[in-house]
Structure 1
Amino acid sequence: MFSKILIANRGEIAVRIIRACKEMGIATVAVYSTADREAFHVALADQAVCIGGPEATESYLNESQIISAALMTGAQAIHPGYGFLSENAHFAGLCRENGIVFIGPDPESMEKFADKAILKELVDDAGLPVIPGTEAVPTLAEAITLANKIGYPVMLKACSGGGGRGIRLIRSDEELTRAFPEATQEAVTAFGDGALYLEKYIFPARHIELQILADEQGHVVCLGERDCSLQRRNQKLLEETPSPAVSDKQRAKMIRLVTRAAKKIGYVGAGTMEFLYDTKGSFWFMEMNLRLQVEHCVTEMLTSVDIVKWQIRIAAGIPLDFDQEQVRLTGSSIECRINAMGIGRLNMLHVPGGLNVRFDTCLIQGMTMSPYYDSLMGKLVVYARSREEALRKMRAALCELVIDGIPSNVNEQLKIVEDERFTSGNYDLTFLGNK
């Protein structure tokens, strides 16, 4: 096992990883930008190294500075969290070249699976139902030809995309002509790769993802599904597990399919296979995330499996010590993402408590919300024996949460969990006008 890990991230996920390391007896190194000098993760870690200016390109995306910080502090491994460098094969390769373990898939797997068009071919061969689509489309002219062959509407997506970025809904040749150069530039800016592909638009649908853990010895377990259909502009706001739309029979079938697919493609680490679930009860594979998901903690609450600790163990070569039959999928867990709606100074923070209530956050009283990074301040998660009880628990927790001084979406989340469309379980991606 590692004795020291560097966390190449910030915010609530850096705090989450540091806590897991402390519980495992592993020393931690935080990296930070000049804007994050007083951040919580910096104070919580055993060591901290400033790696650059406030812009992400100067710090949290600065590969050489992060590698230097790891070598300087003697860190044996780097945990990338999510976002930033978490799915960057080049960075994973740099870690290997410098004798540092990257806590995630190896560079070769990341290269192979990062191109979503290629990945679809692989999982299709493994037996997963795949949305009809294309490989990377090099030119607008070819995109128009293929879009007409698939049939409008189609989705235009970045091959290296994630987090809802680089996505366009296209209904005509004219819209595709306008969107293609825009999406290309957005993909270059966000991911350093402008490649785009097309896929058939399935509507209406729910967004369902299945969490897996796979070790180096070939063992794979699935920790059930998350319903991530509550989105605005392709950005998730609320997740729950299990999905109220998925039957026990469907769930068992999908667990068999995704574990078989993960074994066949040779995946190692924590990963998430994402699907669209249509009104006919069919699942359609969209993509695979090769990293820790923001919403991993809602699955942890349901299953009592610590995904972050298992990421670290798997990276250290330790095999999974449980099998699929031991995964508990009883009860209900709901997560609300608490986002800042502006900048400000945190005057007072009151965190709700009680049995099976969790708030993963980077907030500390007196801090100022930075304008340089993501607006996520924390994730409020509850678990109960039934969905109805979990809904009541989430309403109570949201009413108790106080974040004074920084505008937040707490009231919006409260409205969502009180909305009859959500409480009935009869919702899809159109709930918040996300089309």
Structure 2
Amino acid sequence: MRRLLVANRGEIARRVIRSARKLGIETVAIHSEADAGLAHVAEADFALEIGPAPARESYLDMDKVLAAAAQAGADAVHPGYGFLSENAEFAARVAAAGLTWVGPPPETIRAMGDKARARALAQAAGVPVVPGSDVIGAGSDLGAEAARVGFPLLVKAAAGGGGIGMRRVDRPEQLEQVVAATQSMAGKAFGDGSVFLERFVPKARHVEIQVFGFGEAGAIHLYERDCSLQRRFQKVIEESPAPLLPAQTRDRMAAAAVALCRHTGYRGAGTVEFIVDAESFEFFFLEMNTRIQVEHPVTEMVTGLDLVEMQLRFARGDLVTMTQDQVATRGHAIECRLYAEMPEKNFLPSPGPLTRFRPPAETEGLRIDSGYREGDAVTPYYDPMIAKLIVHGRDRADACDRALAALAGFEIEGLRSNRGFLMACLSNPEFRRGDIYTGFIDDQRAALLEPA
């Protein structure tokens, strides 16, 4: 691996470039017209513009990305997260072009990207899954399927992810309309209108296990991340270890995640996501993400490992295997996602210029991952995340205090952000006690918005 094309933008592109440079690998950045001035473009060894701002005309255009790789003489592609990172066709085309794909094989991406098929694979590996239906088809008895699953339930897009294509149904009379609406939305968003029903756990936690697979040589886990603090099914604050999670539950989840990797012969970095009942600690398989996660720095902070470096080394063949006893954790890490948004207006995006953007200085226990610099603009074309602030402390209370201090020292002007809201979350007595679950923000909205 001599020259790596990073098929992404912003902070994750910078993140990949940083690890590639450590390994002596040259990097190629791609960018849309709107992103020409961003930091990842300046930091790469080579950069190519591939199209207009809309993602479908640039970062999602496989032909343009592959043409850029050929033009730059790249011999490998790292997809980051989002965009084409879980697109099996793109992974196959990268390999067909004679390039190294930094990720699992296309057939694995395809299998895990189909939520219904992923559930079946999990069941075959002995991993508990949330009670649910098969894909709803023309001959399905919708009422009978719903009665078997039970209310409340979720209607979920089989090809969806990241909280997109997921709608809650509380009463039978709502079901038909919500199914039709979700099928329509899924068809437009993913090119696949397939949906299925899944039981909704009223007080649920979202806990995921970071894994790394070595194919026939087995797999390891890198412990858990709690991603329960969410708005609109999308994560806001992540941490490790998961607070108030019994060690026995954590060990069983980790073993289940590794069993799934071994059953599928998984290769590379991945994340197995679980729903955990906050009352009983019963857990169920949710999905598997076949890529690096936005929140991977949390794991890096507690383990001291560089996950992107591991991806690159495995892809080029000099990381053949690792054993579980080579992975240990220390202390507590918390990641806060700083967004250009208005929490008081249902977290509506608020793009604009970063007339002042001065993060606190990084230290051994504080890391800032961002794709922006002062003077840049957060445009309406992409996800409005401005930066990730990641802290490490000796325990959870220490990590919370460090995150609060870092956010207080984060100077940002020119647009609206959720900085105050993040500080309100970290200061909330229920959050500090560790009593967090996916409905936390909705239930605590008034208490969180007032100080924010």
Amino acid at match of 1:405: G
Contact 1:231–1:434 under 8 Å retained in 2: no
Q: 1:65-87 deviations in whole A, cap 9, x for unaligned?
A: 00111111111111111111011
1:318 aligns with 2:318: yes
Amino acid at match of 2:182: A
% identity of equivalent residues:
40
Amino acid at match of 1:8: A
Q: 1:242-262 deviations in whole A, cap 9, x for unaligned?
A: 001212232222222221221
Cα distance in structure 1, aligned partners of 2:76 and 2:139: 42
Change (3 A) 1:138 1:375: same
Cα distance in structure 2, aligned partners of 1:413 and 1:140: 47
Amino acid at match of 2:371: C
The equivalent position to 1:351 in structure 2, one of 339, 355, 359, is 359
* Corresponding position of 1:167: 166
* Corresponding position of 1:370: 379
Q: 1:127-146 deviations in whole A, cap 9, x for unaligned?
A: 21111112221249533331
Cα distance in structure 2, aligned partners of 1:209 and 1:139: 34
> In the comparison of the two structures, how many residue pairs are matched?
434
Q: 1:14-413 maps to which residues of 2 (within 5 A)?
A: 14-139=13-138, 142-278=141-277, 279-320=279-320, 322-341=322-341, 342-353=350-361, 354-413=363-422
Cα distance in structure 2, aligned partners of 1:428 and 1:8: 34
Amino acid at match of 1:425: G
Contact 1:276–1:285 under 8 Å retained in 2: yes
Contact 2:237–2:334 under 8 Å retained in 1: yes
Amino acid at match of 1:68: A
Change (3 A) 1:140 1:37: farther
Q: 1:102-130 deviations in whole A, cap 9, x for unaligned?
A: 21111111222221111111111212111
Q: Tell me, which stretches of 5 or more residues in structure 2 are unaligned?
A: 342-349, 445-452
Cα distance in structure 2, aligned partners of 1:249 and 1:182: 40
1:427 aligns with 2:426: no
Cα distance in structure 2, aligned partners of 1:47 and 1:143: 53
* TM-score after normalising by structure 1: 0.96
Amino acid at match of 2:99: I
3-state SS, counterpart of residue 432 of structure 1: helix
Amino acid at match of 2:440: F
Cα distance in structure 2, aligned partners of 1:130 and 1:319: 32
Change (3 A) 1:217 1:266: closer
Amino acid at match of 1:327: V
Give, in angstroms, the shift of residue 376 of structure 1: 0.7
Give, in angstroms, the shift of residue 320 of structure 1: 4.8
Cα distance in structure 1, aligned partners of 2:135 and 2:216: 33
Contact 2:303–2:328 under 8 Å retained in 1: yes
Amino acid at match of 1:18: I
Q: 1:34-68 deviations in whole A, cap 9, x for unaligned?
A: 11111111111111111111111100100000011
Give, in angstroms, the shift of residue 217 of structure 1: 4.6
Contact 1:117–1:159 under 8 Å retained in 2: yes
